[in-house]
Homo-oligomer: A and B are copies of this chain.
Amino acid sequence: MKKKGIDLVVVGSVALDSVATHSGSGKDILGGSVSYACTAAAFFTRPGMVGVVGDDFPRRYVGMLRKAGVDMAGLQQVRGKTFRWAGEYEEDMNNRRTISTELNVFADFRPEVPESYRSAPFVFLANISPDLQLHVLSQMRKPRFVAADTMDLWIKTAATDLRRVISSVDMILLNDSEAKLMTGEKNPMKAAAAVLKMGPKYVVVKKGEHGAILFARNSRFIVPAYPTEDVRDPTGAGDTFAGGLMGALASRGIINADAVKASLLAGTVLASFGVESFGIDRLATIKRRDILRRMDELRRIASFPPARGIPGGAGGK
């Protein structure tokens, strides 16, 4: 079978996570931003991952990612141990505590984009340090659409590089506390507006279980999270969301605000599946039709009744 070309390049971390939540725990689970993002994106497009693992990286994880439809040409395997993260969540899963972080081979990661990836039209710079995000971006020929994710650590320690990333991309994703931290604005709406002024066309403010808000030059759009009842492990939810969003966007011919909105719906549904298991186990079992079904359901439960239902509207008293 002829191998399809890459539509979406994703760079980020590959990790072995040890996670404990109220519903269980797992050791050396496949994790990292690029693993989650690529697995989610692969439901809609052909993603290629750029990352690094050590010689201890389980072969079955390579198999899982490949089976999910992820191109692995950009995954470097080097001597040493894979990046490891350990953490535990409180019963209120919005609160988590990092137990340990071992960078290992990730400490010296210098992402190299394979030649076969360099003309890809879509790029997602998942959560890694801004200088590595810029290094990846510099290797791409002329991407049509670039998105970047980030985290509080980089806002605090690499603000200048991060500003450069934000001004270079079409879309930046960050959570509400990060938007406030970055801009000094207390109100999340004002914070998002301030980030938008830094250059990107789209700012996506992630609110975890409360969904996300898209800010564009002349419009806003609210997407609620799919109300899932069975959250087992929220690790990687933001990466899964972003990967699903970028995969859905890459699968489309046209990029505009409506396409981004529809893709946000895909991202939020992917994230809702992702949190139902540890690692990518749940994502590995669902089919595209499961995603489309849940997207339909979310669309339905978040849709307002016709405007005549408004008091004072045509059907009002």
Residues of A that sit less than 8 Å from B by CB: 22, 44, 91-92, 186-190, 193, 207, 209-211, 213, 219-224, 227-231, 247-248, 251-253, 258-259, 261-263, 265-266, 288, 292, 295-296, 299, 301-307, 309-312, 316-317
CA distance A187 to B91 in the complex (A): 9
Contact B304 A265 (CB under 8 A): yes
Q: 9 other contacts beyond A253-B317, A258-B309, with CB at 8 A cut-off?
A: A92-B186, A187-B229, A188-B227, A193-B229, A258-B305, A259-B305, A261-B304, A262-B309, A299-B307
27 examples of A-B residue contacts, CB within 8 angstroms = A44-B311, A189-B228, A193-B229, A210-B210, A213-B227, A219-B301, A220-B227, A220-B301, A221-B301, A222-B224, A222-B301, A248-B311, A251-B311, A251-B316, A252-B316, A258-B306, A258-B309, A261-B304, A261-B305, A262-B304, A262-B310, A262-B311, A266-B310, A266-B311, A292-B310, A295-B310, A303-B303
Expressed in whole angstroms, the minimum distance between the Cβ of A86 and any Cβ of chain B is 22
Q: Report B-chain residues with C-beta under 8 Å of the C-beta of A305.
A: 258-259, 261-262
Q: Report B-chain residues with C-beta under 8 Å of the C-beta of A317.
A: 251-253
Contact A304 B303 (CB under 8 A): yes
Expressed in whole angstroms, the minimum distance between the Cβ of A180 and any Cβ of chain B is 9
Please give the count of copies of this chain that the complex contains: 2
Contact A292 B312 (CB under 8 A): yes
Q: Report B-chain residues with C-beta under 8 Å of the C-beta of A247.
A: 311
Which residue in B211, B248, B292, B299 is a CB contact (below 8 Å) of A224?
B211
Q: Report B-chain residues with C-beta under 8 Å of the C-beta of A219.
A: 301
CA distance A230 to B189 in the complex (A): 9
Q: Report B-chain residues with C-beta under 8 Å of the C-beta of A252.
A: 311, 316-317
3 cross-chain pairs, A with B, having the tightest CB-CB distances, nearest first:
A262-B309, A210-B210, A258-B305
Contact B311 A261 (CB under 8 A): no
CA distance A193 to B307 in the complex (A): 28
Most chain B CB within 10 A, of A209, A227, A288, is at: A227
CA distance A188 to B94 in the complex (A): 13
Q: Report B-chain residues with C-beta under 8 Å of the C-beta of A228.
A: 189
Expressed in whole angstroms, the minimum distance between the Cβ of A192 and any Cβ of chain B is 9
Expressed in whole angstroms, the minimum distance between the Cβ of A126 and any Cβ of chain B is 20
Contact A261 B309 (CB under 8 A): yes
Expressed in whole angstroms, the minimum distance between the Cβ of A293 and any Cβ of chain B is 11
